Structure 1
Amino acid sequence: MTFGKGSHLHLIDGSAFIFRAYHALPPLTRKSDGLPVGAVQGFCNLIWNEISGGPTTKSTPTHIAVIFDASSITFRNEIYPEYKANRPELPEDLRPQFPLTREATRAFNVACIEQQGFEADDIIATYARLATEAGGTCTIISSDKDLMQLVGNGVDMFDPMKNKVLGVDEVFEKFGVGPDRVVDVQSLAGDSVDNVPGAPGIGLKTAALLINEYGDLDTLLARAGEIKQPKRREVLTEKVDQIRLSRELVTLRRDVPVEDALADLVCKRPDAGALMDFLSRMEFRTLTRRISDKLGVEAPAITEAPATPAAAEAAPVAEQIPFEPEKYACVRDLETLLGWIDRIRDQGFFAVDTETTSLDEMRAELVGISLATAPGEACYIPLIHSEGSDDLFGSAKLLEGQIPAEAALAALKPVLEDDSILKIGQNIKYDAKIFARRGIKVAPFDDTMLMSYAMFSGLHNHGMDELSETYLGHKPIPIKPLLGSGKSARTFDKVGIEDATKYAAEDADITLRLWQAFRPRLHRERVTTVYETLERPLVPVLAQMEMHGITVDRQVLSRMSSAFAQSMAGLEAEIHEMAGETFNVGSPKQLGEILFDKLSLPGGQKGKNGAYSTGADILEDLATEHELPGKVLDWRQLSKLKSTYTDALQNHINPETGRVHTSYAQTGANTGRLASTDPNLQNIPVRTEEGRRIREAFVAAEGKKLVSLDYSQIELRILAHIAEIPALKQAFRDGLDIHAMTASEMFGVPLDEMTPEVRRRAKAINFGVIYGISGFGLARNLRIPRDQAQAFIDTYFQRFPGIKDYMDKTISFAKEHKYVETLFGRRIHTPEIGAKGPSAGFARRGAINAPIQGTAADIIRRAMVRIPAAIADLPAKMLLQVHDELVFEVEESAVEETIARVKAIMEGAAAPAVEIDVPLIVDAGVGMTWAEAH
């Protein structure tokens, strides 16, 4: 069949679709051998719908082809070697699916096209041109924004994930210009995902504004000197070459010397035998039956081969070999260690664990290393075990029979750094930092703690002891009897080598067995993507941040402590005056007597010890009735700031670096939020002036600035997207003050008459609703009567009914499935969702909030994973993450460039896995202190 007038060509962007299917669909493995095939199944469904006239497009093709990327290197890399340099490695379970999609294309009897030196987009652009020049039309099956420059004049696009046609109007909605000016906008805005530099500091909106004002890119660059805004003028005049280079990178080639003629792409009926053979090998039962019925052939019987260890439940296999600590090896000489290293090289993976003198990785000494190569086959390498007591100079004689630490590390370094050998750890970030301080970079690795977190978040903790008892049925040797407690406590280097060997080698053995149990289960639990893209890649990023640390000014903290003490004294005087007598404000017993006996405030309840309860929730309720409880809450807040931060932070300053090195726990919250410990920098209050002052003590090093980039109201934006609330989505798109808009909607107050008090109440409701707040809770937050607070919430739900619908649907889903999910597939289990009594409300609020907070956490994790490569050539370091905020230390000359790059990554972090309906906005600040920058 020739191609001409009336012909309609469908070009499927195969490479992009595989990624979309992988991220959008749940993981799937072939039952017979555990091979990942989820993206392949999604791909097959698309192809079948295309050739069978299924519900994928508005038009039926006469000709069809699937276009793939032949390799990651194209002519663009010759122009700009850094092009796509930021792209992360393919997820481990996606890599084997690429060749299968090509095999699938051929099994469906569809043209499968790729060409060395060119991207799939260039081939698509060329065929689209050829199709329209021949008098036909073309539909590109993709949602890739880079292809939108091709739309128009007989070419449109179709997003099969959203079942949506993308025409000229949709292009304008995306870029703010027509298809003919998309390249101009992209040349200015750049692309952090593909590492297209663009014009620093100019985003899509500004780029569209400039192109619409000046007509095209060349005119804009020629007249750049006329631009009134100094920064824009400077960028457009100084970065001309970079902008023109970007245009060359984003412009699609339409002259690729393609080998297949249009006529060769005619739609053909699949060869039933070849197609059935492929689908049955993939074990796609439902799809096989559906297609065989349509083709009028008998569906082949799909039998599962005996499961391999990789696909079977591995825990019982590991359990068959008993734990026998007395059989673990103690490696006391280099020759024996080299034998273990040879065994590791032969099999390509091993478990590793370190024993140290401290939980603080920045101060800990490495005492010994344990290795495991198979269940029951583990060893311990003692390095600096010493006699039990120190001499007068604080040192002790090393025990005999230990390899010198430098020699042991030199022998282990090659396998710890070998890309072909997998290192397995439990909380491997700790061990990686211990090795990093000794010049060893541990990679690649798996982490059993993070595997457990990806699969079982919300069900239990993820420490090794609990995992061992739960999944291996084994109670590990406890550490406390070895180290002692109180005055008799000792560090691990004082433990005898024989006892140390049993304890340490068992840790490595347990870790290996957990890995055997967890690794295949990730696919079955459908969380491989979460582990591979959100958890594991974040480990080296966090480790580097923790090792950088941040400078804290001891003198500022000391002055703050004194100021807080004075303020506390002033509050105490006010409290005593209100009470009519002096008493110890810090004593719950004395406070209870004042509140409930002397002042006769309502709600007094005595506990088992005979004293009244005076917890924060009690005082917050009472603060709506009397001023004294509110003053006590203020006093407690200052007391906590003083003891937890201005006093304690001084003890956390590392004497060697002069900086504070917090530790981030990836498993610290069920939703995916990071937790910060030793010291905790996540909970520094920012809603009070005193709390914000704590950040004044965090300072930049000489010649540098602190830069803070913070998502603006990200959880509200995600709520607007998930709950499909048109008013909120439009407000965010229009850049309105969302709290003022909410207040106006709720209370009928025009925006130009908005008072700070009304806005503050709306803000409290906006954020409170995300956490499923009750009338009681809102009353406490605003210190208003409960009936008034409940009326506010009722009005809120009336104005935004989509939020109540979201809550009801989420709770219903949680009750049915016992978990909820983020937009990126993270599962948060909700085992208490069906509970009754006091815990019921807590479980429901947690289920409502988890998809929102978890999605926000996933987005910033995706950003953090991409940022190090993006700023690798800049004098900038990422130091802190505080929920929705990232803090950097940057040389003054690189501040603007760092902000531009990081902001682009953060605002685009959800893509390509998820497209949020509202823009993600990042605010940037710069200062000598964290307080100035935020």
Structure 2
Amino acid sequence: MARRAAAEALTALLAQPILRGQLVDGGLAQLFDEVEMALLPVLARMEKAGVRIDLEALSAMSEEFGATLADLETRIYAFVGHEFNIGSPRQLETVLFDQLELPSTKRTRTSRSTDASVLEELRDKHEVVGLILEHRQVSKLKSTYVDALPTLVDDLARLHTTYQQAVAATGRLSSTDPNLQNIPIRTALGRRIRRAFVAPAGKLLLGADYSQQELRILAHVSQDPGLKADFAAHADIHLAAAARVLGLAPDAVGPKERSVAKMINYGIAYGLSDFGLAQRLNIPREEAHVFIEDYYAAYPGIRRYTTEMKILARDQGFVTTLLGRRRYLPELAARNQALRSSGERMAINMPIQGTAADGMKIAMVRIDEALRERGLRSQMLLQVHDELIFETDEDELAQLAGMVRDIMRSALPLDVPLEVDLKVGSNWEQMDRYLPTDDDGGWHRVPKSAGDVAREEAEEEVAAELVT
């Protein structure tokens, strides 16, 4: 063991000048030194600090989820007429397709699929399918989070994750043991897990969340005048897109039109095709194609950007972020059309998502430096893609909020303003908006309305769906 460890250390030492030369030749040395290496001690401090977990809340949730599962099982068995293992794909296949005679729409090599996409297609065919989907969701939440997290905390009930800098090809951080970046956000039930992430007695959690960060980066890299103007005017970006695409006055845009525009706004940034848009909006593919073409007509700079990135990626074999981070795309040379299309989507999205990741890392390094320079007790605990979570005291809250907001806003030199939403509370799920007071430079808490919560949840769900 000792000889192997020594050999690995020696190998790394001998490889260093070779790898350093490659960084310099690729124009990546500054990114490596000033972002990635500077971030290492920041992540180490975050991992050491951990985050407090409310074990009593998870215990109560476990009992509640257990009762919910028992009730769902009783109802499912009543529909089917007998008990079976709901978690067994083989038994579920027999029940759905042989006993209930529902149509099989997808096959694996050995059986008829019962994955989530198949069950969603069957939801309207039989009432039991919705119950099975709900059972699957609750069971997953209970086993993966509610029952698992208490086994991972330390003696102070704090949970410590490990951040990985070199896993995601876009430069995004990833998290393991446990994966705290995967804490559910798509459903109300899933979001309740965040209620167990708490501040210790006498302290508060401060959340700082980039507002539509990737769309703002899209406006910068595409230089589309319409999108830049909408952000400069602090417009509702999805309402503005609906008005431009559909040729409506802003006050004539309804919730349905705004929802379509929101999916297209985010979808374009992720290279979403008309087929993908049709699936997500549950509309004919032809209608989705018209929506996308009308969007490109309204935002010609974005069409130009997507076209140019595909050509550039094919010519040089890679794309870069604004800071020079590269992603190589061998998929573009594949014979398989699906692989090539996947490569094109990466070519469009990586400069956007990767630049967002670079900007967040820069902000984290600067915030950590400022915390130590000012001698603040506040700690940075979690990073979840476009959000940072801090633990702080009441007497430092306003100072921390202003400092974090200013640093995050200035992390990237964009042609459109970066905006940061701040929130504060005793747990990660139930947080008030934290806003500056215009007249005296102070801050105040504003409870979120039901509309605020609904809009935030819808925004997170769309972005999360496209990321995955």
TM-score by length of 1: 0.44
- Give the aligned partner of residue 435 of structure 2: none
AA matched with 1:888 = F
Q: Aligned residues: percent identity?
A: 45
Q: Distance in 2 between matches of 1:628 and 1:781?
A: 23
Task: Quote how far apart the aligned CAs of 1:533 are.
Answer: 1.7
AA matched with 1:616 = A
Q: Is structure 2 residue 63 aligned with structure 1 residue 562? A: yes
- Structure 1 contact 551–658 (Cα < 8 Å) conserved: yes
Task: Quote how far apart the aligned CAs of 1:844 are.
Answer: 1.9
- Give the aligned partner of residue 137 of structure 2: 637
Task: Quote how far apart the aligned CAs of 1:878 are.
Answer: 0.5
Q: Render the CA deviation track for 1:285-329: whole Å, top value 9, x for unaligned.
A: xxxxxxxxxxxxxxxxxxxxxxxxxxxxxxxxxxxxxxxxxxxxx
Of 172, 185, 188 in structure 2, the residue corresponding to residue 689 of structure 1 is 188
- Structure 2 contact 58–196 (Cα < 8 Å) conserved: yes
Q: Distance in 1 between matches of 2:76 and 2:314?
A: 47
Say which one has the larger Rg. 1
AA matched with 1:552 = I
- Structure 2 contact 319–328 (Cα < 8 Å) conserved: yes
- Structure 1 contact 833–844 (Cα < 8 Å) conserved: yes
Of 323, 326, 350 in structure 2, the residue corresponding to residue 850 of structure 1 is 350
> Partner of 1:537: helix, strand, or coil?
helix
Q: Which 4+ runs in 1 deviate beyond 6 A?
A: 577-581, 624-627
Q: Distance in 1 between matches of 2:123 and 2:334?
A: 31
Q: Which has the higher contact order (CA 8 A, sep 6+)?
A: 2
Q: Distance in 2 between matches of 1:806 and 1:630?
A: 41
- Give the aligned partner of residue 777 of structure 1: 276
> Partner of 1:565: helix, strand, or coil?
helix
Task: Quote how far apart the aligned CAs of 1:708 are.
Answer: 0.3
How many residues were matched structurally? 428
> Partner of 2:181: helix, strand, or coil?
coil
Q: Distance in 2 between matches of 1:813 and 1:535?
A: 26
Say if 1:668 and 1:734 are closer, same or farther in 2 by CA, change over 3 A: same
Q: Distance in 2 between matches of 1:758 and 1:569?
A: 40
Q: Distance in 1 between matches of 2:251 and 2:342?
A: 38
> Partner of 1:931: helix, strand, or coil?
coil
Q: Distance in 2 between matches of 1:852 and 1:699?
A: 32
> Partner of 2:85: helix, strand, or coil?
coil
Q: Distance in 2 between matches of 1:584 and 1:842?
A: 37
TM-score by length of 2: 0.84
- Structure 1 contact 881–887 (Cα < 8 Å) conserved: yes
Q: Render the CA deviation track for 1:262-304: whole Å, top value 9, x for unaligned.
A: xxxxxxxxxxxxxxxxxxxxxxxxxxxxxxxxxxxxxxxxxxx
> Partner of 2:429: helix, strand, or coil?
helix
Say if 1:850 and 1:628 are closer, same or farther in 2 by CA, change over 3 A: farther
Instruction: Report 1:198-597 matches (<5 A).
Output: 500-572=1-73, 583-597=84-98
Deviates more, 1:584-593 or 1:536-545: 584-593
- Give the aligned partner of residue 744 of structure 1: 243
Of 652, 656, 678 in structure 1, the residue corresponding to residue 177 of structure 2 is 678
Task: Quote how far apart the aligned CAs of 1:583 are.
Answer: 4.3
Task: Quote how far apart the aligned CAs of 1:542 are.
Answer: 0.4
Of 381, 393, 401 in structure 2, the residue corresponding to residue 891 of structure 1 is 393
Q: Render the CA deviation track for 1:513-566: whole Å, top value 9, x for unaligned.
A: 221321222111221121112211000000001101110011111222222333
Q: Distance in 1 between matches of 2:196 and 2:255?
A: 30
- Give the aligned partner of residue 861 of structure 1: 361
- Give the aligned partner of residue 112 of structure 2: 612
- Give the aligned partner of residue 306 of structure 2: 807
Q: Render the CA deviation track for 1:775-833: whole Å, top value 9, x for unaligned.
A: 34334434455454444334333332332322221111111111100011111111222
> Partner of 2:331: helix, strand, or coil?
coil
- Structure 1 contact 624–785 (Cα < 8 Å) conserved: no
Q: Distance in 2 between matches of 1:720 and 1:630?
A: 40
Q: Distance in 1 between matches of 2:75 and 2:305?
A: 46
Say if 1:814 and 1:575 are closer, same or farther in 2 by CA, change over 3 A: farther
> Partner of 1:879: helix, strand, or coil?
strand
Say if 1:574 and 1:509 are closer, same or farther in 2 by CA, change over 3 A: same
- Structure 1 contact 925–932 (Cα < 8 Å) conserved: no
Q: Is structure 2 residue 402 aligned with structure 1 residue 900? A: yes
Of 186, 204, 213 in structure 2, the residue corresponding to residue 714 of structure 1 is 213
- Give the aligned partner of residue 601 of structure 1: 103
- Give the aligned partner of residue 424 of structure 2: 926
AA matched with 1:714 = Q
Q: Distance in 2 between matches of 1:892 and 1:836?
A: 59
- Structure 2 contact 102–122 (Cα < 8 Å) conserved: no
Task: Quote how far apart the aligned CAs of 1:509 are.
Answer: 1.4
- Give the aligned partner of residue 186 of structure 1: none
- Give the aligned partner of residue 443 of structure 1: none
- Structure 2 contact 264–292 (Cα < 8 Å) conserved: yes
Of 152, 164, 173 in structure 2, the residue corresponding to residue 665 of structure 1 is 164
Say if 1:835 and 1:630 are closer, same or farther in 2 by CA, change over 3 A: farther
Q: Distance in 2 between matches of 1:635 and 1:750?
A: 44
Q: Distance in 1 between matches of 2:391 and 2:349?
A: 32
Q: Distance in 1 between matches of 2:341 and 2:175?
A: 27
- Structure 1 residue runs without a partner (length 5+): 1-499
Q: Is structure 2 residue 255 aligned with structure 1 residue 756? A: yes
